Amino acid sequence: MSRSVRALRLKLSRHAGFQTYAGSRQYRSTFAPITVLEALEAISERNPELNAFASHITPAEANASESSEGPLMDWPIAVKANIATARSSVTSCASRALYAYTSPFQATVVDSLERAGAAVVGKTNMDEFGMGSKNKFSIYGSALNPHTPALVAKQDGMTELDRHTPGGSSGGSAAAVAAGMCRAALGSDTGGSVRLPAAWCGVVGFKPTFGRISRHGLVAYGSSLDTVGIMARDVADVQSVFDIVAVPDPLDMTCMTSSLRARIKALASSRPWITQAHGPNRSESAPLAEIRVGIPEEYWVNELSEPALESWRAGASRLAALGCEVVSVSLPHTPSALPAYYALAWAEASSNLARYDGIRYGRRSDIRPDTRNLQNASQKYANTRGEGFGAEVQRRILLGTYVMSSAASEHYFTPSQKIRRLIQEEFDNVFALPNALSATQPLALSASRPLGVDVLLFPTATGAAPRLSDQEDSRVANYVNDVMTVPASLAGIPAISIPAGHADGMPLGLQLAAQYGDDDLLLCVARHL
């Protein structure tokens, strides 16, 4: 018997005190709302310590701006530094290459939020171009985790490296939400860059289905993986933002069309085991009745800490108490996900970042070699990119270029694409809902309950946030932080991290994932959990 199956044989007890929202989409936040002026006061007080914002507006600018009336009226929203905002705001991607870049247009997702009444209060710190998991690779310096155990805080001579990382690459957004400097924040998630920092900062981090939210205005890292994500203090606020921004956009060729969204809706509403159990007569004592939750055996990795394991057990127990059937499932190619992800992401990064040459985009080197011969002209180009990119970005560009070379492509890039396809097929096989992208799948399901699960449950990270000084000697150890998050990114399926206890005073996160397009059911389960 596997360790995960043994772990599921728990004594399950019902939990009291949770709130249900039967038959309503008007979910209420469990936190007091934060206004724009309250957010700016918190930024003024806490950002000098936490370095979560790269830039922010002033109270005078907030008073002078005209907010639209809408469902997000007076919501202070933080936006990651790689999402374009127009006017005076810099879209730097935390890189010297773009340190003073002002976008001539605004991201679709930002436009949607502002039309709904939200106010962008600032741009948040991040790992350069989204490449990192500890928010260390930034021209603004490291963002810091708002959660600092009292024992650590009292130590004499505590330096910045003694503080805990907020995670990356969207660490500034997560820290801003956790510290009350905004009500919600936008990040980008390529391989876990929203979910990991959300877990380590004790907030909710949602990566929707690939294509649900427009990426027009998001600076590209890995084009087949990049997703705009949402962070907030609870799932209700995430849902409110998601309902505004999850719309078709003709400016983004990867954004879901209206017809695909309709197909997904038809598939999701054709599950009798959910529509009957969650209709007007749904059970108040078991609000998640008939929902089947899968526990993937392969996510029980050697690096998983005991506190993370205990939170996983508690999460399974909680869902069972809410009426779910909890079962064990297998995703055999999960161990291959991390190397496949990095081969693909780095290859795409080397292509996407080729445009930052000081001519098409980015700052240009001040060193002026003699350009009368080709060698010196190439040196000018090399100087520009060497000065513009940090060490981690250079490392990933070099490795990505090698992966795409004729000598290495058949050994790294092509096998990684095959592994990605196998991972996608494995997710399709464990979910009861068919994948809406499969042309052979019917639009309606049979009345009987099919085999398969509705959601998956597993930890967001192997443990709590490390200190910035940890693992300095191992680049590979830093990449292992993504081991729990990259499979969902490779498959393009929705995943969400929710707070799930603490370890030594630092937050832990649990992750839920669902079938492609099944974002609403995922948010429903997450809200109850």
In three-state secondary structure terms, 6 is helix
In angstroms, how far is the first alpha carbon of the chain from the final one?
Answer: 27
Would you state the structure tokens that stand for residue 180, as one six-digit string?
A: 């009350």
For CA atoms 272, 278, 284, 287, give the dihedral sign. Answer: positive
CA distance 76 to 463: 30
3-state per-residue secondary structure call for 102-164: CCCCCCHHHHHHHHCCCEEEEEECCCHHHCCCCCCCCCCCCCCCCCCCHHHHCCCCCCHHHCE
Cα dihedral across residues 319, 265, 225, 71: positive or negative: negative
Backbone angles phi, psi at 324, to 5 degrees: -75, 150
Residue 325, strand partner residues: 292
C-alpha span between 135 and 95 (Å, rounded): 12
User: Of the candidates 10, 496, 498, 4, which has an alpha carbon nearest to the alpha carbon of residue 299?
Assistant: 4
| Closest of 496, 341, 514, 485 to residue 427, by C-alpha | 514
- Distance from C-alpha of 328 to C-alpha of 456, rounded to nearest angstrom: 10
Active-site hit among 193, 311, 350, 416: 193
438 is catalytic: no
Q: Which of 4, 95, 133, 169 is catalytic?
A: 169
Active site residue 193: yes
H-helix or E-strand spanning residue 386: helix 374-388
Tokens of 347: 């290859």
- Of 4, 80, 188, 489, catalytic: 80
Spatial distance between the Cα atoms of 90 and 115, rounded to a whole number of angstroms? 21
Q: Please state, in angstroms and rounded to a whole number, the distance separating the CA atoms of residues 352 and 366.
A: 24
Cβ–Cβ < 8 Å for 316, 326: yes
Cα–Cα dist 195/207, whole Å? 7
Does 173 qualify as catalytic in the annotation?
no
Residues with catalytic function:
80, 169, 193
